[in-house]
Amino acid sequence: MPTNLFSPLQMGSLSLTNRIAMAPLTRNRAGAGNAPQAMNVEYYRQRASAGLIVTEGAQISATAVGYLATPGIHSTGQIAGWKQVTDAVHSRGGKIFLQLWHCGRVSHPSLQPGGILPVAPSAILPAGQAFTPTGWQPLVTPRALESSELPGIVADYRKAAQNCVEAGFDGVEIHAANGYLLDQFIRDGANRRTDAYGGSLENRSRLLLEVVGAVAGVWGAERVGVRFSPINSFNDMSDSDPQRTFDYMATALNAFDLAYLHGMELDFGANPPDFDFAQFRRCFKGRYMANGGYDQARANAALASGYADLVAFGASFIANPDLPERFARNAPLNTPDQATFYGGDEKGYTDYPALS
């Protein structure tokens, strides 16, 4: 019988009941102090039938924030809020990883403690706008991190990973995609450094590998995933040779026995570069989570061929809290309401109907 979405998966010591992952989805509905609140608990509880939930990105520190009303994992209130989430998911037999997030240059002084500049590998002004407490504002030129500050960034990831243990998660995903801090170090369009963290591929991978090592030191590598987005131009990102860059990064991660590598295979922009995802996937010897416009048929084909080990679904999980059951019954899917994706209340968040 070919592997499909309903085949169980052993991921280290973690047993997944199916291979349907809920993708990390920013929804901008955190409560006071950027802590998860009651409607967040209900949202994740409703979706606990996923083989694995990967939460929305959670900031590893107060300076890692890039958006309003997004949760963190650095304060006692945030840890307590996430503990309610994990308890709710576990009560329904689910498994849940938290996505560790540092937005880097994709921020604004009004979102930073004391109004300081956001940080980045290099002081390059990105195109785009930030949604601030006073509305949309142009992004600013970030401050380039000093070499001496990078151990502190790694320490923030390590502490956030420890906080995830306290909050009851089953593991963590390191967000190195979509134009955020670790992706900014990886891609040469954002990294013009001349120290040990810039220039060569070895240097541009250094911070990521230090972070992976630190987080794996807390969790064990088998409970750690890493997310890349090789072709995504979102947040004004580019690379002069994405195939070479991300084949290298995927190969470098073979030094760890990770839970999975998560590949975001879409470009949110208009002109994606040529990229061979099959070649990229072959560079990584462990489990691969595919993500990017998959439907049930395409996901089953990717699993049956051995290309993917899990498939992540985003918008379809927003609109269908019981997505695995709908797939199992070949039932029609609810249509996502894009107007309610970001911010707001329970409307478009916890009120999508499940099958009767």
Q: Is 353 contained in some domain?
A: no
Nearest CA to 73 among 98, 94, 95?
Answer: 98
Establish if 355 belongs to a structural domain. Answer: no
What per-residue confidence (pLDDT) applies to 8?
Answer: 98
Residue with tokens 């072709």: 231
Number of structural domains in the chain: 1
Enter the tokens of residue 143. 């401050």
The CATH number of whichever domain residue 273 belongs to comes to 3.20.20.70
Residue in the structure block whose two tokens are 């309903």: 6
Distance set, CA 130 to CA 5, 85, 134, 139 (Å)? 37, 28, 10, 6
**Buried-exposed string 224-247: b where 16+ CB fall within 10 A, e elsewhere:** bbbbbbbbbbbbbbebeebbebbb
Q: How far apart are the C-alpha atoms of 340 and 346, rounded to whole Å?
A: 9
* Distance separating alpha carbons of residues 151 and 161, to the nearest angstrom: 15
Q: Identify the helix (H) or strand (E) that includes residue 174.
A: strand 171-175
| Beta strand 260-264 pairing with 224-228 | parallel
Q: pLDDT at position 76, please?
A: 98
Q: Does residue 317 contact residue 285 with C-beta atoms inside 8 Å?
A: no
Per DSSP, the three-state class of 295 is: coil
Task: Examine residue 111 and state whether it is found in any structural domain, yes or no.
Answer: yes
In a domain, 235, yes or no: yes
Q: Residue 345: inside a domain, yes or no? A: no
Residue 135: what pLDDT? Answer: 87
Looking at residue 251, the DSSP 8-state letter turns out to be: H
DSSP single-letter state for residue 72: B
Residue 212 lies in a domain: yes
**Residue in the structure block whose two tokens are 């992540």:** 312
Alpha-carbon distance values, 25 to 194, 198, 214 (Å): 34, 30, 25
Residue 101 domain boundaries: 9-340
Residue 224: φ, ψ to 5°: -125, 130
The whole-model pTM stands at 0.98
How many Cα atoms are found within 13 Å in the side-chain-facing hemisphere of 240?
8
| 349 found inside a domain | no
Q: What does the pLDDT look like over 97-138, one tens digit per residue?
A: 999 999 999 999 999 999 999 999 999 999 999 988 998 899
Catalytic residue positions, numbered: 180
Backbone dihedral angles phi then psi of residue 96, each to the nearest 5 degrees: -145, 130
Residues of the chain with pLDDT under 50: none
Domain annotation covers residue 63: yes
